[in-house]
A and B are shown apart, each in its own frame.
Chain A
Amino acid sequence: MSADQDGANLLEVRGLTKIFGTLTACDHVDLNIAKGEIHALLGENGAGKSTLVKMLFGSLEPNSGEIFWNGQAVRITSPGTAKKLGIGMVFQHFSLFEALTAAENIALSLDDGSPISTIAAKARALSYSYGLPLDPLSLVGDLSVGERQRIEIIRCLLQTPQLIILDEPTSVLTPQEADKLFETLERLRSEGKSILYISHRLEEVKRICDRATVLRHGKVVGHCNPRQETASSLARMMVGNEVLAVVRAPAEGIETAPVLLQIRELTRKPATPFSIPLRNINLEVRAGEVIGIAGVAGNGQGEFFESVSGEVLQQDAGSVRIRGKDAGGLTITGRRLMGAAFVPEERLGHGAAPRMKLSENLLLSRHATDGKMFVGAGGMVKGDAIHTAAQRIIKAMDVRKSAPDPEAAALSGGNLQKFIVGRELDRRPSVLVVNQPTWGVDAGAAAHIRQALIELARSGSAVLVISQDLDELFEISDAITVMHNGELSKPLPIAEATFEKIGLLMGGAEPGHAEHTLETA
């Protein structure tokens, strides 16, 4: 397994080490990337993938180790240096500016002085030729996660890099979009470009990657040819032991179970000129079942979640009913008090306050529902009780952290997500609504979260999962429905659902922004 067989190495990394305080995030990592190959970087959350990639892109400075670019020793001291060498990056936590348009965002990373209109035209052309439609004049703040990622990819491609680093690129794409991305990547490979591909989706890695480097606890534990491995052997290498397969016991007697969450003729006008209206949505979730909502990013899922969770109140109180009572006019706290729990899409800034400790985040979301437990006489906070509960959640969900009670932002994405989901599960809610439960979460953590969702449902709760990950929905749902352009299809029982059927429901045409605005105008 030597890269030398493949010809010249574009990038060679020897003994790269990065130490944060007492934590060695990357420990003498070696990595070779040949010209014209797609190289996978595999590893669980916290394995050091992001740290390694940040050092390659110049955002972090290594403590020791060497980097060779085309055989020359180089020091990558800033992202600017990386870009000059020809390294492009698509970030997992996007590096976009919300108050600027897509075209302005792209312009910022290009060094030429061409006018924005030229860049917008170029970006539009490139995005359509790669099958990732993009309206360059839309404001990033109005775009969904999937659409933002398109901007990142297009921005990276416009820099014509030699090496493209993609951090979890398909987490928010539909199978069709992912296929298009793979075509793009294969086209880039045939043009002689190299790609460093970070993903938790092992099937994908098997499908498109030529070689793989596996990291565990900051160390390289192996190189392999993913095509000769199975998904479970790759997972074993990553995690160090077997990944639990998600077990879904058949749901029984659901037809007669009470409806715990009911959506009746839910309608919402678009909040901004770019967003999607909700059109007459009806849905029932019964005790004991998991219902999955599939759909391409930006089809109204976010708007739907906001309406159901109470972030946005409805005119018609009966449009959202929890345990048989009208809840449409209630706030999040009001709905929580009725026994519902919600996990939003964005972990940082929405699901958790980034600069606050885990225990403080716990108190923030549960001070009303668990008032007696956490808040004592005269509004004094019961530190011990909160601490105990936080530790219970951390243990139950296997949250890995570097300090006893760290800030939310200090946790890796997957571990924070486990904590946020665990925080809601800990309440044993009778209704749970989750938006993108495992976005950017590794295989081990994702399996853990999925299993926990199924178990909650089987213990008699109604669980509604909004996800762009079809594999996930097929794994956990009892029925799947599709959201397209603000409308919800009839739920399809899992026994009748196939990828093809769901794919068709997701809509033949690509729902780009231009079409939405035309329709809503």
Chain B
Amino acid sequence: MDITVNILLTIATAATPLLIAAIGELVVERSGVLNLGVEGMMIMGAVGGFGAGYLTGSPWIGLLAAVTMGAVFSLLFAVMTLSLATNQVATGLSLTLLGLGLSGMMGTNFVGQPGERLPNLDIPGLTAIPVVGRLLFGQDPIFYISIALTAAVMWFLFKTRTGLTLRSIGDSHASAHALGIHVIRYRYLSVIFGGACAGLAGGHLSLVYTPQWVENMTAGRGWIALALVVFASWRPWRVLAGAYIFGAIWVGQLHVQAINLQDFVDAPWLLYKLIAFLKSFPSQLLSSLPYLATVVVLVLISRNKRLTMMNTPASLGQPFVPDR
């Protein structure tokens, strides 16, 4: 039983940074801006979070620093693409490259240092409940933030007037401008929110997942988050589903690769056969399984063309220059 709980906890830990970064990017893209710099903002959050935590000794200050770092870094993208109307794809890519390089430089002195880890939640009485106790009341604080964030973004986008305005800008910035909506202002705020989320996701990596600084430690998670947003057809609950499917299969294939088949001789026949079957694949194929499965599942749930049409931001990636 304990093994199952542990596996479930690892899945949540693997899914949380993807979920947070993707939810942030979802808001950005809903406003019609394509920020390909998620990976760069994430790694800046990771190095900022680790550094602040290490220097002050407080992981909470580290958390705050991660969020701030992501937001400030995204501001660079916002000024370039929104005020100067540069190409969003090129600017986003360069943001990622800049982030990867800059974080490596900033983190030179942090390599190999022990970091601060955010403590897990511990509610006397509740956390001790067998099985569900640790799952529901014993995880790290960012896990709870990620779930709350998803619910909040869903509510904001589909239940509030401001959310409707944001979606309208993503659908047609020209129409929104004609109605007197401040397109650029909304987009600035969206991009900064997305940056803060990416920073938080990076902070999760360096303050919870592996509380240390390793160059390039985001390892492509920003790109996965970007893909999740598209495959989830810009809907928050699907992003959540996608992040967890990815996390589950990723953790699962790691376990399959690590375990020894001989240990399972006494296990139920079906489980034994399944593990044997999976282990018969080359490890590279197993490693690609999470990507494949996530894409297949999300494509299957996005088959409704009408819903997809309604949810795709039509002005995504187009620079907006109001004619005056």
Chain A interface (Cβ < 8 Å from any Cβ of B): 58-61, 78-83, 91, 94-100, 104-105, 107-109, 113, 116, 139, 141, 272-273
Given contacts A100-B167, A141-B309, contact A108 B323 (CB under 8 A): no
B10–chain A nearest beta-carbon distance, Å: 38
Report yes or no: B314 in contact with A98, Cβ–Cβ below 8 A.
yes
Report yes or no: A60 in contact with B323, Cβ–Cβ below 8 A.
yes
Question: Contacting chain A: which of B137-145, B176-184, B221-229?
Answer: B176-184
Question: Taking the complex as formed, is B306 at the interface, i.e. its CB lies under 8 A from any CB of chain A?
Answer: yes
Question: Taking the complex as formed, is B94 at the interface, i.e. its CB lies under 8 A from any CB of chain A?
Answer: no
Cβ 8 A contact of A99, one of B176, B310, B323: B310
Report yes or no: B175 in contact with A96, Cβ–Cβ below 8 A.
yes
In the complex, which range does the number of interface residues on chain B fall in?
20 to 34
Report yes or no: A109 in contact with B312, Cβ–Cβ below 8 A.
no
B181: nearest residue on chain A (CB-CB)? A108
Return chain A residues, CB-CB under 8 Å to B161: 107, 113
A140: nearest residue on chain B (CB-CB)? B171
A109: nearest residue on chain B (CB-CB)? B179
Cβ 8 A contact of B168, one of A58, A91, A100: A100
A105: nearest residue on chain B (CB-CB)? B168
B304–chain A nearest beta-carbon distance, Å: 12
Q: A60-B324, A105-B168 are in contact. List 9 more A-B contacts (CB 8 A).
A: A79-B177, A79-B180, A81-B180, A95-B174, A97-B168, A99-B310, A100-B171, A108-B176, A116-B164
Contact residues, B129-184 vs A (CB, 8 A): 161, 164-165, 167-168, 171-172, 174-181
Which 4 pairs of residues, A with B, have the shortest CB-CB distance? A79-B180, A80-B180, A95-B178, A95-B175
Question: Taking the complex as formed, is B311 at the interface, i.e. its CB lies under 8 A from any CB of chain A?
Answer: yes
Binding site of B, secondary structure by majority: helix, strand, loop or mixed? helix
A82: nearest residue on chain B (CB-CB)? B180
B260–chain A nearest beta-carbon distance, Å: 53
Question: Could you write out 18 A-B pairs with CB less than 8 Å apart?
Answer: A59-B178, A60-B324, A81-B180, A91-B178, A95-B172, A95-B179, A97-B171, A97-B176, A99-B167, A99-B309, A99-B314, A105-B168, A107-B161, A107-B164, A108-B181, A141-B309, A141-B310, A273-B306
B179–chain A nearest beta-carbon distance, Å: 5
CA distance A32 to B174 in the complex (A): 29
Return chain A residues, CB-CB under 8 Å to B175: 94-97
Report yes or no: B179 in contact with A79, Cβ–Cβ below 8 A.
yes
A59: nearest residue on chain B (CB-CB)? B178
Return chain B residues, CB-CB under 8 Å to A116: 164
Cβ 8 A contact of B180, one of A78, A96, A105: A78
A184–chain B nearest beta-carbon distance, Å: 22
Most chain B beta-carbon neighbours within 10 Å: one of A61, A97, A100: A97
Report yes or no: B314 in contact with A100, Cβ–Cβ below 8 A.
no
Report yes or no: B180 in contact with A83, Cβ–Cβ below 8 A.
yes
Given contacts A98-B171, A98-B172, A98-B314, contact A108 B178 (CB under 8 A): no
CA distance A97 to B183 in the complex (A): 14
Return chain B residues, CB-CB under 8 Å to A273: 306
Most chain B beta-carbon neighbours within 10 Å: one of A81, A82, A99: A99
CA distance A115 to B12 in the complex (A): 36
